Structure 1
Amino acid sequence: MATTPEPPAAPPKPTWEPKQADPPYPWLRPTIRIRLTLLYGGMFLIAGIVLLSIIYMLAAQALHVGSELPFEIVSGKVTSEICSLPANASPDAFNAAMNACVNDQRKAALDTLLNRSLLALLGLSVIAFAFGYAMAGRVLSPLGRITRTARRVAGTDLTRRIELDGPDDELKELADTFDDMLDRLERAFTAQQRFVGNASHELRTPLAINRTLLEVHISDPEAPPELHQLGRTLLATNERSEQLVEGLLLLARSDNQIVERKPVDLAEVAERAIDQTRAEALARKVDIRGERESATVQGNGVLLERIALNLVQNAVRYNVPEDGWVEVTTEVRDGQALLVVSNTGPVVPAYEIDNLFEPFRRLRTERTGSDKGVGLGLSIARSVARAHGGRIIAEPREGGGLVMRVTLPL
């Protein structure tokens, strides 16, 4: 039978959450207020320059028309304290000197007019820019109020509302629309929390009862071997269902911001995760190594331990059959806490990285029914990292395996 050719590999895609470059000069950020100020001040400056040019040309034209002397000196003695007139010169020489003096005075008057007008324009421009900045701030103050409310909402305080007063303009319409959106979001989050609470009880209780009944039947010495085997199979299935429910509930809870934060050392969190995974690593012949330096962050210790545990478990389970290793390191770098988990393992294409963070998604070589988990580990790790204001980046390791980097603010 002819084999079906495998589909061509998809083009590589960037890893999850590529690092965004910070602006070189954040204090030069072109805010709307700055742009409006430059617009107001620039328009005033251009209008002032045009007006000054017109006044200068009109004054120059008027002085040029009246610059010729309406008389001539025929004889007599003429003196001046401003102009330098020749002594004992002919009348024509006196007239020429007088015209030159008048032209000099005309030029001096125009220069004085231009200099004083430029100084006045400069002073008025400064006042115009300051006035434009103040007016832009007043006009944009509702946007600042909307921004502050949005930041409070981002801190899981969905009870905040803008409730903007003022004229029925575009900004008030935007604020009212934002308030309506917050109302819907609050109802949705309340319903989600109620669902998580109900599901936590309704799903855990029957699974716990099933586990108890199965354990009782398995412990019965008079039960036939077939019943023991069936009970163990059902118990493993029930345990897998419990893990799935716990993972889904944890994923739903970790999507929210962490309200109560306490100092947590990532080195201790990593050590606890390694201790919980060491037996499985020995069974799979995987060596766990790495140096862990103290890196204290503000967060929830249980959820942060879940990040480390999920990453270490995945690194142990998705490894090579022989001579495999997992390296777990923690450190503080560039003002942030860093948890790095790298391992040997199968080669992971770059275009498969994004799929690893989706719920119930694995590599194409793995089946959903494998014994390596339910496919929620990396999804939970990503949600917990986001809830702590951090992020997680996965990169294929040369030679096989992955390098997982968790970055959290201090």
Structure 2
Amino acid sequence: MMYFLVSQSLLDAPSSRRDLLDDEVERRTAGIDETVRSAIEAYRAETLHGLLTWSIVALGAALVLAGVLGWFLAGRALRPLQQVTETARRVAERNLHERIGLTGPKDELRELADTFDAMLERLDRSFDAQRTFVANASHELRTPLAVNRTLLEVALGEPDISDDLRRLAPTLLATNERSERLVEGLLTLARSEQSVTEPVAVDLREITSAVLDQEKGEATRHGMAVTSQLRHALTTGNGVLLERMVVNLVQNAIRHGGPDGTARVWTGPRDGWVAIQVENTGPKLGTYEVEGLFEPFRRGEGRSARGQGVGLGLSIVRSIARAHGGRVVARPRDQGGLLIRVDLPARVQG
């Protein structure tokens, strides 16, 4: 439009007025008239060309400036929404203690963030109450179970014990021991579902080596051959919980490895993480069964016949891994058995 207006406003070359002049004047002015006309045409063409060039440059600069300004304004407008999304992702991966705490004007995004914070607060209180109840109930059950075990052991030592009690006592002791393991597992599970507040430097290699020495007798009783390849795997966390995680992994492999089975334990760095991997023989499992093994009180087909556990071992493993910002990967082996790998964040050296 600007180009059209300017082109119309510029004077065209002067029209011929030879009809008003005599032949002599026409001959004298013909050369001058042609020169003026050419100069005016050249000036008009140069002006329009310059206008077109600068118009294109200005249009390009305006588009670039509009794009940058739009990106900046969109970023400022969507920043609160991005904050909400990042907080929701961290909460889903770690714990419910974080809050968005969005500041600024009381607009729709601020109202959304406040509603999300209120929901997190209610969920946090609910889960804390659930964990507290499980921990308190389990703790209260430990004393009577310990008393029952002591009374049974004392009764078995009496010389005049009745034959009925002598026959029932081993069954009662086994049942009591199973209940104690269940209570201990519930306590560990409730404790492991909380975030690690004071992490310390931990080497999975040292923990795993100690656990394998501790479980040698258990492996011998089950006829399991356990091999290991242990490399340094430095992470940070709660050493007691991480030891319990390794114990559960190793015991799970030993107890479900099958007659004359084998288990292989590996620790070391892996793709920016540190990991412990436990692989054992055993009955064949379907891929659809693996996830159920990590649910409380659930075991796969063919794994419950041995009656060794209470169905909390792998649930505790996953809870401890999550509390440390890690992940658990499990898959059935083609030859039978299971492979479980726990990845934990590597310790930052410094």
Q: Which bracket does the TM-score occupy, shorter chain normalised?
A: 0.7 to 0.9
Q: State the 1:110 CA deviation.
A: 2.0
* 1:302 paired residue among 233, 236, 240: 240
Please state if 1:352 is matched with 2:297: no
Residue 319 of structure 2 is aligned to residue 401 of structure 1: no
Q: Does 1:388 align with 2:329?
A: no
Judge conservation of contact 2:80–2:102 (CA < 8 Å) in 1: no
1:111-147: CA deviation from partner (whole Å, max 9, x where unpaired): 2112223333444445444443443344345446646
The yes-or-no answer on 1:287 pairing with 2:225 is yes
Match of 2:14 among 69, 72, 77: 69
- Verify the 8 A CA contact 2:135 2:186 in the aligned structure 1: no
Matched AA of 2:300: L
Q: 1:337–1:409: 8 Å Cα contact kept in structure 2? A: yes
Structure 2 CA distance for aligned equivalents of residues 237 and 205 of structure 1:
15
- Distance in 1 (CA, whole Å) between partners of 2:244 and 2:296 is 16
Deviation larger for 189-198 or 291-300: 189-198
Is 1:55 paired with 2:2?
yes
Superposition RMSD in Å: 3.1
Moved more, 343-352 or 326-335: 343-352
Whole-angstrom CA distance in 2 between matches of 1:77 and 1:303: 114
After alignment, is 253-262 or 297-306 more displaced? 253-262
Farther off after superposition, 136-145 or 384-393: 136-145
* Structure-to-structure mapping, 1:86-105, within 5 angstroms: 91=30, 99=37, 101-105=39-43
From the superposition, tell whether residues 297 and 97 of structure 1 become closer, same or farther in structure 2 (CA, over 3 Å). same
**TM-score normalised to the size of structure 2?**
0.85
The CA deviation at 1:176 is 2.4
Pairing partner for 2:280 from 337, 340, 343: 343
Q: Which residue of 1 aligns with 2:210?
A: 272
* Count of residue correspondences: 342
CA gap of 1:187–1:284, structure 2 versus 1, over 3 A, is closer
SS in 1 for 2:329: strand
Quote the offset at 1:284 in angstroms: 1.7
Match of 2:167 in 1: 229
2:133 aligns with one of 173, 195, 217: 195
**What is the CA deviation profile of residues 59-89 of structure 1, one whole-angstrom value per residue up to 9, with x for unaligned ones?**
34x268x5353344678999xxxxxxxxx99
Query: What is the match of residue 44 of structure 1?
Result: none
Q: CA deviation at 1:190?
A: 3.7
- Match of 1:172, as an amino acid? R
Taking structure 1 as the reference length, what is the TM-score of the superposition? Answer: 0.73
Distance 1:308 1:77, change over 3 A: farther
Give per-residue Cα distances to partners, 1:259-307, cap 9 Å, x unaligned.
Answer: 2111111111111221222111111221111210111101111111122
CA-CA distance at 1:188 after TM superposition = 1.4
Aligned-pair identity in percent equals 47
Structure 1 residue matching 2:335: 3-state secondary structure: coil
Q: Where does 1:9-408 land on structure 2 (aligned, <5 Å)?
A: 54-60=1-7, 62=8, 66-72=11-17, 91=30, 99=37, 101-143=39-81, 146=84, 158=97, 162=101, 164-167=103-106, 169-322=107-260, 324-367=261-304, 370-408=306-344
Deviations 1:129-184 (A, max 9, x none): 444344334434544664676688677573857264523x2112212212321331
Q: 1:98 to 1:202 in 2, by over 3 A?
A: same
Residue type at the aligned position of 2:14: L
Judging by fraction of residues, say which structure has more helix.
2
Residues 366-400 of structure 1: CA distance to partner in whole angstroms, max 9, x if unpaired?
44x74220111111111111111111111222212
Tell me, yes or no, if the aligned pair for 2:204 and 2:276 is still in contact at 8 Å: yes
Q: Which amino acid is 1:183 matched to?
A: E
Long gaps (5+) in structure 2: none
Q: Distance in 2 between matches of 1:161 and 1:332?
A: 34
Preserved CA contact (<8 Å) 1:218 1:232: no
**Which runs of 5 or more residues in structure 1 are unaligned?**
1-53, 79-87
